[in-house]
Amino acid sequence: MNEREVIARLRRIATDPAARGLADDAALLDGLVITHDTIAEGVHFLRFDPPASVGWKLVAVNLSDLAAKGATPRAALLSMSVGDVDWDELFLGGIEAACESYGLSLIGGDTIALPEGAPRVLGMTAIGLAGPRTPARSGGKPGDRLWLVGTLGDSAAGLAQLLGDPKATGPLVDHYRRPVPLLAAGHALTAHANASMDVSDGLLLDLSRLCAASGCGAEVDLGALPLSRAFVAERGQGRAARLFAATGGDDYALLAAVPPEADALSLSLPSGTKIAPIGRLVKRHGIALSHGGKPVPLPATLGFEHGGI
């Protein structure tokens, strides 16, 4: 079974309203936003990645889900495989640093030992206090403008650098290894959004999930996608680079469908935050891409999906 098939099967079990039909990355239960993410060696991080950065990343990817729902981090449960004392100590140092940075209390979890040489599998459940509004993916409406907070493609470009040279360094590698959850921006954005989510598996794939949950389609201008200076220096900003950015994973940007009368540019966001309108939701189904006013065919692969399409 691939990822979509498993989730479809689980919907028969997850019938509590808190599950939101498993159409979201987080549950909403009694005023709490609850999310769980697992990262695995060889899938979400490389065997030679610094253990502290792996710990940081595990916390950050969970907090990104809370950010997308406008939640305030409160507590977390950690699941980890153990066995290498030095690696484990450095990994836990990264967990500790991220928890201290974002005011996240570790309150429990579980440990297991895997066979020698098995890839590490690490998980965290993060719990946040819901804000005044907790937009689901399913709340988007035709006519809503699509806003993106953050930049696209940095992590995928950083991963490509590391695969070419395990000793590579720089801002793109940093983005891949140590993503920053956009918590403050999430608080501001969700106050006005009909639907919201973080971008973790690629913009086009994640947008297709938002559209499916909301029962509509989308138009996206590739030329409007926000790119960092480091990405442009490495990959350029032509159509091919923008398609690479739109399908790369591990961005942890925020995507929101906002009513057209609301101007997200007027939001009070942290200094230096990048926010851009990238398109809109429409009545017809599917995603239509354009660049420079001309239509662009959808790529064969929209992003990263476990187990294939």
Cα–Cα distance between 146 and 221 in angstroms, integer?
10
Q: pLDDT of 232-279, one tens digit each?
A: 999 999 999 999 999 998 999 999 999 999 988 888 888 889 999 999
Q: pLDDT of 276-291, one tens digit each?
A: 999 999 998 899 999 9
pLDDT at 306 over 70: no
Nearest-CA neighbor of 289 among 163, 228, 204, 184? 204
Cα–Cα distance between 229 and 237 in angstroms, integer?
10
Locate 264 and state its tokens: 């997200």
The pLDDT value recorded for residue 4 is 80
pLDDT at 309 over 60: no
* pLDDT over 90 percentage in the chain: 84
Question: Which residues are registered as beta bridge partners of 217?
Answer: 282
Average pLDDT over residues 20-38: 93
The pLDDT value recorded for residue 107 is 98
Nearest-CA neighbor of 302 among 210, 179, 208? 208
Average pLDDT over residues 142-167: 97
The pLDDT value recorded for residue 23 is 84
pLDDT at 182 over 60: yes
CA-based radius of gyration for the chain: 19
pLDDT at 308 over 80: no
Confidence of residue 51 (pLDDT cuts 50, 70, 90): very high
* pLDDT over 70 percentage in the chain: 98
Pair type for strands 72-82 and 105-113:
parallel
Model pTM score: 0.93
Average pLDDT over residues 62-71: 97
Confidence of residue 305 (pLDDT cuts 50, 70, 90): low
For the chain, domains (ranges, CATH) are 3-129 (3.30.1330.10), 137-296 (3.90.650.10)
Distance, C-alpha 36 to centroid of its chain: 12
Hey, what amino acid is at 173?
V
Cα–Cα distance between 92 and 99 in angstroms, integer?
10
pLDDT at 106 over 80: yes
Q: Show the 3-state SS of the chain.
A: CCHHHHHHHHCCCCCCHHHHHHCCCCEEECCEEEEEEEEEECCCECCCCCHHHHHHHHHHHHHHHHHHCCCEEEEEEEEEEECCHHHHHHHHHHHHHHHHHHCCEEEEEEEEECCCCCCCEEEEEEEEECCCCCCCHHHCCCCCEEEEECCCCHHHHHHHHHHHCCCCCCHHHHHHHCCCCCHHHHHHHHCCCCEEEEECCCHHHHHHHHHHHHCCEEEEEHHHCCCCHHHHHHHCCCHHHHHHHHHCCCCCEEEEEECCCCCHHHCCCCCCCCEEEEEEEECCCCEEEEECCEEECCCCCCCCCCCCC
The pLDDT value recorded for residue 8 is 87
Nearest-CA neighbor of 250 among 19, 37, 28, 13? 37
pLDDT: which is higher, 124 or 25: 124
Locate 73 and state its tokens: 């981090």
- Output the average pLDDT for the chain: 94
The pLDDT value recorded for residue 284 is 87
Q: pLDDT of 84-95, one tens digit each?
A: 999 999 999 999
Distances (CA, A) of 30 to 18, 67, 127, 129: 8, 18, 12, 10
Average pLDDT over residues 24-45: 94
Q: What is the C-alpha end-to-end distance of the chain, expressed in Å?
A: 10
Average pLDDT over residues 126-131: 97
